[in-house]
Amino acid sequence: MEHYLRDDEIEKALEEIFGIPDDGSEDGNESDEAEEFNVNNIQRVLEDNSSSTSSPAPEQSEYTLRNRPEPEPSSSHSTSAGRSDYSHQDESLSIESTQQIPELLEEEPSDESECEDESWGKNMWDSRPDPEFDEVTVQPKYLMNRKARPVAHFEKFFNDDGFDLIITQTNLYAEQERIKNLSPVDKAEIRAFLGIFIIMGYHILPQIDLYWSTDPGFRVNEVADVTTVKRFKKILQALHLNNNREQPERGSPDFDKLYKLRPLISLLNDAFQNNATNSSSQSIDESMILFKGRSSLKQYMPLKPIKRGYKVWCCCDSSTGYLYNFEIYTGKTGQGTE
């Protein structure tokens, strides 16, 4: 319990210690023989005054003395009245914390000193460094002549298995649907058909019929001289990659939105793996295929350069960008992280 001093007690204590008269006079000259300021003396006088009076605690005045220093242990101090163990602990903690402040300030180094003592630091690049990849790099499994034509490289990935798949399934669908005026297709015709599709990809015209137009401003001889427009449209009508009769029903566990393309996707992934060795530095990221039509597979990604289209997960070599594996995103399946 804190003890608050009255005005007369404070004046009496100051008079006994410093010899200051209680007449209220102000003297700016200090005596050479004045007693040196001693905290212990103040504490002793205050405790004597508090022990000599037995009157109840006075009203709180504007002069209060808190956090007094702990006196030296003696028999008289231990029997003094008006002092509690709680007040002793509070005062001792305040004195110890005050004495430890300079030590903490000395021990606490500044940020600059810490940086100076550290052996590491920031090194600025003189030029942009080349990325370092692991020792195992991507290498082709089958070397080809430098003078090989582009079609030879294309056939390494779209090999005979892909052509046989298209021929078998296209003829099967034409037979199942009984498409009139369509004779069975062969490998040479399917190769020419895919070649026409590639030409149409970079030489774009408003309509398919214009590639066979008599107008020289539209006609493309590389297309018109290979097949007729009617035969091309018939093959396009019957073009298939999987048997529709075996397609699982919607809602079944085996249902696949990419069922009609799944055999070709599997063949291409196998071809990508078989034509190059796996490197030890690969990255998996999403890619977009531009498409603005109507499809349940179409995705909208505003942060991509191509914002609308088919999203494809790609596993590529980190150095060369060679595609090892890909998977077309068909929507969220089940729970958990994709």
Tens-place pLDDT, residues 229-281: 999 999 999 999 999 999 999 888 889 999 999 999 999 999 999 999 888 88
pLDDT at 185 over 90: yes
* 8 A C-beta contact, residue 33 and residue 49: no
**DSSP states of 67-111 as a string?**
SPPPPPP-HHHHT-TT--HHHHHHHHHHHHHHHHHHHHHHHS--H
Cβ atoms within 10 Å, residue 279:
20
- Comparing 333 with 206, the larger pLDDT belongs to 206
* 8 A C-beta contact, residue 136 and residue 279: yes
Kindly indicate the confidence band of residue 125, based on its pLDDT and cuts at 50, 70 and 90.
confident
Segment (H or E) for 278: none
pLDDT of the residue at 183? 93
pLDDT at 198 over 90: yes
* 8 A C-beta contact, residue 265 and residue 313: no
pLDDT of the residue at 131? 62
Segment (H or E) for 34: none
pLDDT of the residue at 38? 58
In 3-state terms, what secondary structure has residue 236? helix
pLDDT at 225 over 90: yes
Verdict on whether the full-model pTM lies above 0.95 = no
Summarize the confidence of residues 215-233 as an average pLDDT.
Answer: 94
Mean of all residue pLDDT scores within the chain: 77
Window from 1-15, 71-85, 114-128 with minimum mean pLDDT: 71-85
Rounded CA separation 166/241 (Å): 6
Segment (H or E) for 326: strand 323-328
